[in-house]
């Protein structure tokens, strides 16, 4: 049985759904450039002579701690949302997102408490995974899905602009305050509360949304080639779902639902998604350390505000790409070739900015070079992420979207857990040397070109033409 949903309703529900991801996206982008500065505040137990190396290592641990629980929880929440519905999982995630961020803001002395806060946020941090499954349910056409996932990417691009700016502004005059990062974290908590109210009263459960559209006698266009089978499984109540999945048979069902869509057509896109996740977390960790470290130790010596502002350039580039470029490149080149082209751009982007290590980049032409490299990084992220998400969504039927994206996000969480400490360790090895900063950036560069090799191999092995369907 097929369903075609009115575009107006699709657009409204898409915007409402994506808006519920705003707090998590803002908080992540807001904290990213501030992590090295927060770690310095929380590292009173480290001798001054060892602080520069410890900041790199601890920054990686704090960044990766959010993603460690998602190794399991992305699968749990993604697959559970297939049964209990997307909306209850989103509401739960928003609540703990706000609560854990508030505690992070009032902590000023314990690095361990900061790590625990990020771990708790990660346990309930699968909202983006759940939302991707919901978008695939709301949009039954390929063009509609490309638009929806482009909007999804635009949200993170906008957050990449607003988050660092908000964080930089709210912490610029608090260096002597008892709680230097409370204002920024409290802002994230307020956003979470607002998004929770929006989701509670305005967001429709996607399965119920499709059923209501069906009951309104909307006709499906069987000849369009863009309709999909609707998931007829009932949405379970929360208690019923938890009772079911906590039993032995329920866990067996959970595992079966997870691995049901596993085919070579899905495995390759997941691998590519994992590569871009690893690269993204590696270069975001390294860029934050490059900006925060003094020039005599191989960095650029930015202030927290300057570091946050530089990070916004990635978001500006991503937003412009999603609005004007990404969808057209995916449709013209196809997701596979577009992914390869984007990842190849990492060479000028990362090597360019890494060779500035040890200089005062706020003077002369160096700052403009930083701007150009950051804009290229945004181009890479926007196109590579969109291409891999489209590939994953096209690889499975709509009834398995939650499990497919849950599995992809879980695999990506492994890389997002490993990448920051690895990048921090690489930075620790070159910290103190003015001309060796580029060596640390070989970590994401090697991964980027490895992903290109995997993508080209899959195109030849599976016979992808590389050109997206025009239907």
SS (H, E, C) 404-415: HHHHHHHHHHHH
Q: Helix-strand-coil percent breakdown of the chain, rounded to 5?
A: 75, 0, 25
Q: In Å, how far are 9, 40, 126, 415 from 447, measured between CA atoms?
A: 41, 29, 25, 11
pLDDT tens digits, 54-88:
888 888 889 889 988 888 888 788 778 877 888 99
pLDDT value of residue 470: 33
Residues spanned by the domain of 418: 8-213+260-462
Which one-letter DSSP state was computed for residue 300?
Answer: -
Q: What is the DSSP string of 221-237?
A: -TTSS---B---SPPPP
pTM value > 0.95 = no
Sign of CA dihedral 270, 13, 23, 70: negative
pLDDT value of residue 360: 60
pLDDT value of residue 103: 94
CA 51 – CA 44 distance, rounded (Å): 9
Residue 224 belongs to some domain of the structure: no
Q: In Å, how far are 85, 174, 179, 297 from 182, measured between CA atoms?
A: 34, 9, 5, 29
Residue 120 belongs to some domain of the structure: yes
pLDDT value of residue 467: 43
* CATH assignment of the domain containing 357: 1.20.1250.20
Give which of 415, 131, 419 is closest to 273, Cα–Cα. Answer: 415
Give which of 417, 203, 175, 421 is closest to 303, Cα–Cα. Answer: 175
Residue 276 belongs to some domain of the structure: yes
The tokens of 186 are what? 């409290």
CA 266 – CA 71 distance, rounded (Å): 18
Do the beta carbons of residue 442 and residue 115 sit within 8 Å?
no
pLDDT value of residue 342: 96
Q: Which residues pair with 155 in a beta bridge?
A: none
pLDDT value of residue 192: 96
Residue 470 belongs to some domain of the structure: no
Burial class (CB in 10 A: 0-12, 13-18, 19+), 328: exposed
Residue 250 belongs to some domain of the structure: no
DSSP three-state, residue 2 = strand
The b/e string for 290-322 (b: 16+ C-beta within 10 A; e otherwise) is bbbbeeebbbbbbebbbbbbbbbbbbbbbbbbb
pLDDT averaged per 10 residues, the chain (length 471):
50 90 92 88 79 80 88 81 85 94 91 94 90 82 78 84 88 74 93 95 81 56 45 49 53 56 80 94 91 81 83 89 87 91 94 78 69 93 92 79 77 87 86 74 95 92 53 31
Residue 321 belongs to some domain of the structure: yes
Burial class (CB in 10 A: 0-12, 13-18, 19+), 451: buried
Q: How many DSSP H helices and E strands does the chain contain?
A: 23, 0
* Number of domains within the chain: 1
DSSP three-state, residue 334 = coil
pLDDT tens digits, 179-205:
888 999 999 999 999 999 999 998 888
The b/e string for 209-223 (b: 16+ C-beta within 10 A; e otherwise) is bbeebbeeeeebeee
Q: What is the DSSP string of 61-106?
A: HHHHHTTSTHHHHHHHHHHHHHHH-HHHHHHHHHHHHHHHHHHHHH
Residue 218 belongs to some domain of the structure: no
pLDDT value of residue 45: 80
Q: Is 53 left (phi over 0), alpha (psi -120 to 50) or beta?
A: alpha
Residue 31 belongs to some domain of the structure: yes
């Amino acid at each position: 049985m097929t369903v075609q949903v009115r575009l107006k309703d699709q657009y409204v529900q898409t915007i409402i759904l994506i808006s519920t991801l705003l707090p998590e996206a803002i908080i992540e982008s807001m904290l990213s450039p501030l992590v090295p500065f927060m770690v310095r505040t929380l590292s009173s137990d480290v001798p001054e002579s060892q602080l520069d190396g410890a900041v790199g290592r601890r920054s990686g641990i704090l960044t990766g701690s959010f993603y460690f629980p998602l190794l399991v929880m992305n699968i749990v929440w993604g697959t559970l949302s297939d049964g209990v519905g997307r909306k209850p999982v989103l509401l739960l995630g928003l609540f703990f997102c706000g609560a854990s961020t508030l505690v992070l803001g009032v902590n000023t002395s314990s690095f361990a408490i900061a790590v625990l806060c990020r771990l708790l946020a990660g346990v309930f941090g699968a909202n983006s995974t759940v939302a991707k499954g919901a978008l695939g349910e709301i949009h039954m056409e390929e063009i509609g899905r490309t638009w929806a996932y482009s909007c999804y990417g635009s949200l993170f691009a906008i957050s990449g602009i607003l988050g660092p700016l908000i964080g930089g502004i709210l912490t610029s005059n608090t260096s002597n305050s008892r709680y230097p990062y409370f204002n920024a974290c409290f802002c994230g908590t307020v956003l979470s509360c607002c998004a929770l109210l929006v989701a509670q009263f305005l967001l429709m459960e996607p399965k119920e949304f499709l059923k209501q559209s069906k009951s309104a006698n909307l006709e499906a266009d069987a000849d369009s080639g863009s309709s999909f089978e609707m998931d007829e499984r009932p949405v379970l109540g929360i208690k019923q779902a938890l009772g079911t999945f906590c039993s032995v048979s329920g866990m067996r069902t959970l595992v079966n639902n997870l691995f049901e869509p596993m085919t070579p057509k899905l495995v390759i896109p997941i691998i590519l998604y994992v590569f871009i996740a690893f690269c993204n977390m590696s270069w975001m960790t390294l860029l934050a350390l490059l900006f925060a470290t003094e020039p005599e130790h191989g960095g650029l010596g930015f202030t927290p505000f300057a570091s946050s502002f530089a990070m916004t350039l990635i978001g500006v580039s991503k937003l412009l790409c999603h609005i004007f470029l990404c969808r057209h490149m995916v449709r013209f080149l196809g997701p596979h070739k577009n992914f390869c082209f984007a990842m190849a751009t990492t060479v000028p982007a990362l090597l360019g900015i890494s060779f500035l290590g040890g200089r005062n980049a706020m003077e002369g032409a160096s700052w403009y070079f930083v701007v150009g490299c950051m804009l290229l990084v945004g181009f890479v992220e926007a196109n590579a992420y969109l291409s891999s998400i489209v590939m994953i969504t096209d690889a499975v039927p709509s009834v398995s979207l939650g499990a497919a994206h849950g599995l992809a996000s879980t695999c990506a969480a492994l890389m997002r857990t490993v990448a920051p400490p690895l990048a921090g360790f690489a930075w620790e090895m070159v910290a103190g040397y003015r001309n060796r900063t580029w060596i640390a950036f070989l970590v994401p560069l090697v991964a980027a070109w490895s992903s290109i090799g995997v993508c080209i191999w899959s195109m030849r092995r599976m016979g992808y033409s590389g050109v997206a369907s025009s239907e």
